Amino acid sequence: MSETAGEEGAYGCIFCVTGMELAAVQHIQRVCDDVHVIVARQFQQRTIHGKSHVAESLLFPGYAFFEASAREDVINRFPKHESILSILKTADGDWRLYGDDAKLVKWLFSYDGLLPLSQACKEGDWVRIIDGPLLDMQGKIVHFDKRHKSAQVAITFCNREIKTWFQFELVEKI
Protein backbone atom coordinates (compact mmCIF):
# COMPACT_ATOMS: atom_id res chain seq x y z
CA MET A 1 0.00 0.00 0.00
CA SER A 2 1.14 3.56 -0.53
CA GLU A 3 3.00 5.42 2.20
CA THR A 4 0.55 8.29 2.10
CA ALA A 5 -3.19 8.29 2.05
CA GLY A 6 -4.55 10.32 -0.80
CA GLU A 7 -5.45 9.37 -4.35
CA GLU A 8 -4.10 5.82 -4.01
CA GLY A 9 -4.63 4.99 -0.35
CA ALA A 10 -6.91 6.05 2.43
CA TYR A 11 -7.20 5.34 6.14
CA GLY A 12 -10.11 3.89 8.06
CA CYS A 13 -11.04 2.75 11.56
CA ILE A 14 -12.43 -0.55 12.84
CA PHE A 15 -14.44 -0.75 16.04
CA CYS A 16 -13.45 -4.00 17.80
CA VAL A 17 -14.37 -5.92 20.89
CA THR A 18 -12.06 -4.50 23.56
CA GLY A 19 -9.31 -6.99 24.28
CA MET A 20 -9.68 -8.62 20.84
CA GLU A 21 -8.03 -5.91 18.72
CA LEU A 22 -5.08 -8.10 17.72
CA ALA A 23 -7.42 -10.96 16.73
CA ALA A 24 -9.27 -8.54 14.43
CA VAL A 25 -5.99 -7.38 12.86
CA GLN A 26 -4.78 -10.94 12.29
CA HIS A 27 -8.10 -12.02 10.78
CA ILE A 28 -8.27 -9.10 8.35
CA GLN A 29 -4.65 -9.52 7.27
CA ARG A 30 -5.20 -13.25 6.66
CA VAL A 31 -8.13 -12.57 4.36
CA CYS A 32 -7.19 -9.17 2.85
CA ASP A 33 -3.44 -9.29 2.23
CA ASP A 34 -3.44 -5.94 0.39
CA VAL A 35 -4.86 -4.08 3.41
CA HIS A 36 -2.43 -2.92 6.11
CA VAL A 37 -4.00 -3.06 9.59
CA ILE A 38 -2.52 -1.88 12.90
CA VAL A 39 -3.45 -1.51 16.53
CA ALA A 40 -2.04 1.68 18.06
CA ARG A 41 0.26 0.76 20.95
CA GLN A 42 2.78 2.62 23.05
CA PHE A 43 5.70 1.78 25.25
CA GLN A 44 5.37 3.10 28.79
CA GLN A 45 7.81 3.23 31.69
CA ARG A 46 6.21 1.59 34.72
CA THR A 47 7.36 1.00 38.27
CA ILE A 48 6.08 -2.06 40.11
CA HIS A 49 7.32 -2.91 43.60
CA GLY A 50 10.11 -0.34 43.21
CA LYS A 51 11.42 -1.84 39.95
CA SER A 52 11.19 0.07 36.71
CA HIS A 53 10.35 -1.69 33.46
CA VAL A 54 8.99 -0.92 30.01
CA ALA A 55 5.53 -2.24 29.14
CA GLU A 56 3.46 -2.05 25.98
CA SER A 57 -0.15 -0.86 26.17
CA LEU A 58 -2.95 -0.04 23.78
CA LEU A 59 -3.31 3.61 22.89
CA PHE A 60 -6.96 3.28 21.72
CA PRO A 61 -8.55 0.17 23.26
CA GLY A 62 -11.37 -1.15 21.09
CA TYR A 63 -10.04 0.27 17.81
CA ALA A 64 -7.80 -0.81 14.95
CA PHE A 65 -6.80 1.27 11.94
CA PHE A 66 -6.28 0.28 8.33
CA GLU A 67 -4.92 1.58 5.06
CA ALA A 68 -6.59 0.45 1.84
CA SER A 69 -7.16 1.65 -1.68
CA ALA A 70 -9.31 4.79 -1.60
CA ARG A 71 -11.57 3.16 -4.19
CA GLU A 72 -11.94 -0.04 -2.15
CA ASP A 73 -15.37 -1.11 -0.90
CA VAL A 74 -13.96 -2.32 2.42
CA ILE A 75 -17.34 -2.35 4.14
CA ASN A 76 -18.45 -5.28 1.99
CA ARG A 77 -14.99 -6.83 1.59
CA PHE A 78 -13.83 -7.10 5.20
CA PRO A 79 -14.55 -10.52 6.65
CA LYS A 80 -17.02 -11.09 9.44
CA HIS A 81 -15.35 -12.05 12.71
CA GLU A 82 -16.36 -12.17 16.38
CA SER A 83 -13.74 -9.51 17.22
CA ILE A 84 -14.98 -6.96 14.65
CA LEU A 85 -18.03 -4.92 15.63
CA SER A 86 -18.07 -2.50 12.67
CA ILE A 87 -16.11 -0.29 10.32
CA LEU A 88 -16.65 3.31 11.36
CA LYS A 89 -18.40 5.39 8.71
CA THR A 90 -19.51 8.94 8.15
CA ALA A 91 -23.22 9.81 8.01
CA ASP A 92 -23.14 9.23 4.23
CA GLY A 93 -21.59 5.77 4.61
CA ASP A 94 -17.98 6.65 3.68
CA TRP A 95 -15.33 4.63 5.56
CA ARG A 96 -12.42 6.96 4.77
CA LEU A 97 -10.98 9.22 7.47
CA TYR A 98 -10.38 12.88 6.62
CA GLY A 99 -8.64 15.90 8.13
CA ASP A 100 -7.04 15.56 11.55
CA ASP A 101 -8.30 11.98 11.92
CA ALA A 102 -6.47 10.91 8.75
CA LYS A 103 -3.34 12.81 9.84
CA LEU A 104 -3.32 11.03 13.20
CA VAL A 105 -3.69 7.58 11.64
CA LYS A 106 -1.04 8.37 9.00
CA TRP A 107 1.29 9.36 11.86
CA LEU A 108 0.50 6.09 13.69
CA PHE A 109 1.30 4.14 10.52
CA SER A 110 4.66 5.93 10.28
CA TYR A 111 5.54 4.13 13.53
CA ASP A 112 3.84 0.90 12.36
CA GLY A 113 1.42 1.43 15.23
CA LEU A 114 4.02 1.21 18.03
CA LEU A 115 5.01 4.52 19.61
CA PRO A 116 8.41 4.47 21.31
CA LEU A 117 9.14 5.93 24.71
CA SER A 118 9.51 9.68 24.54
CA GLN A 119 12.85 11.06 25.58
CA ALA A 120 12.53 12.53 29.04
CA CYS A 121 13.20 16.19 29.59
CA LYS A 122 14.57 17.81 32.69
CA GLU A 123 14.97 21.31 34.05
CA GLY A 124 17.42 23.25 31.90
CA ASP A 125 16.62 21.34 28.67
CA TRP A 126 15.63 23.26 25.57
CA VAL A 127 12.27 22.32 24.08
CA ARG A 128 10.12 23.21 21.09
CA ILE A 129 6.37 23.75 21.42
CA ILE A 130 4.62 21.27 19.11
CA ASP A 131 1.00 22.46 19.27
CA GLY A 132 -1.16 25.46 20.04
CA PRO A 133 -0.71 29.19 19.49
CA LEU A 134 3.01 29.08 20.39
CA LEU A 135 3.71 26.31 17.85
CA ASP A 136 7.42 25.97 16.94
CA MET A 137 8.60 28.46 19.58
CA GLN A 138 11.56 27.31 21.63
CA GLY A 139 12.27 27.73 25.30
CA LYS A 140 14.04 26.34 28.33
CA ILE A 141 12.36 24.20 30.99
CA VAL A 142 12.57 26.01 34.33
CA HIS A 143 10.31 23.78 36.42
CA PHE A 144 8.58 20.38 36.28
CA ASP A 145 5.34 19.33 37.92
CA LYS A 146 5.28 15.51 37.62
CA ARG A 147 1.99 15.23 39.46
CA HIS A 148 0.18 17.43 36.91
CA LYS A 149 2.36 16.23 33.99
CA SER A 150 3.38 19.73 33.01
CA ALA A 151 6.49 21.86 32.63
CA GLN A 152 7.07 25.57 33.02
CA VAL A 153 8.97 26.83 29.99
CA ALA A 154 10.75 30.19 29.67
CA ILE A 155 10.20 31.59 26.17
CA THR A 156 11.70 34.77 24.79
CA PHE A 157 8.95 36.80 23.12
CA CYS A 158 9.38 40.41 21.97
CA ASN A 159 12.71 40.60 23.80
CA ARG A 160 11.05 39.57 27.08
CA GLU A 161 11.28 36.27 28.91
CA ILE A 162 7.83 34.84 29.52
CA LYS A 163 7.29 31.73 31.65
CA THR A 164 4.29 29.59 30.81
CA TRP A 165 3.07 26.09 31.66
CA PHE A 166 2.64 23.31 29.09
CA GLN A 167 1.42 19.75 29.32
CA PHE A 168 4.29 17.30 28.68
CA GLU A 169 2.79 16.20 25.37
CA LEU A 170 2.95 19.75 23.97
CA VAL A 171 6.76 20.04 24.08
CA GLU A 172 9.60 18.05 22.55
CA LYS A 173 13.25 18.09 23.47
CA ILE A 174 15.60 19.74 20.96
Is domain 126-173 in CATH 1.20.120.420, yes or no? Answer: no
Domain ranges in the chain are 9-115, 126-173
* pLDDT band (50, 70, 90) for residue 97: very high
Q: What is the pLDDT of residues 41-96, one digit of tens each?
A: 988 777 788 777 788 889 899 999 999 998 888 888 888 899 999 999 999 989 99
> What does the pLDDT read at residue 168?
82
Contacts 24+ apart (CB under 8 A), 163-172: 164/134, 166/129, 168/118, 168/121, 170/129, 170/130, 170/131, 170/132, 171/121, 171/127, 171/128, 171/129, 171/130, 171/141, 172/118, 172/127, 172/128, 172/130
Percentage of the residues of the chain whose pLDDT score is greater than 90? 45
pLDDT greater at residue 49 or residue 154:
154
Please, what CATH class does the domain formed by 9-115 belong to?
alpha beta
Please determine, for residue 11, whether its predicted confidence score (pLDDT) is greater than 60: yes
CA distance 111 to 71: 25
CA distance 15 to 30: 18
Mean pLDDT of the chain: 86
> What does the pLDDT read at residue 120?
66
Please determine, for residue 117, whether its predicted confidence score (pLDDT) is greater than 80: no
Q: Model pTM? A: 0.65
> What does the pLDDT read at residue 6?
44
> What does the pLDDT read at residue 119?
61
Mean pLDDT within 24-46: 89
Mean pLDDT within 19-41: 93
Check for a shared fold between 9-115 and 126-173.
no
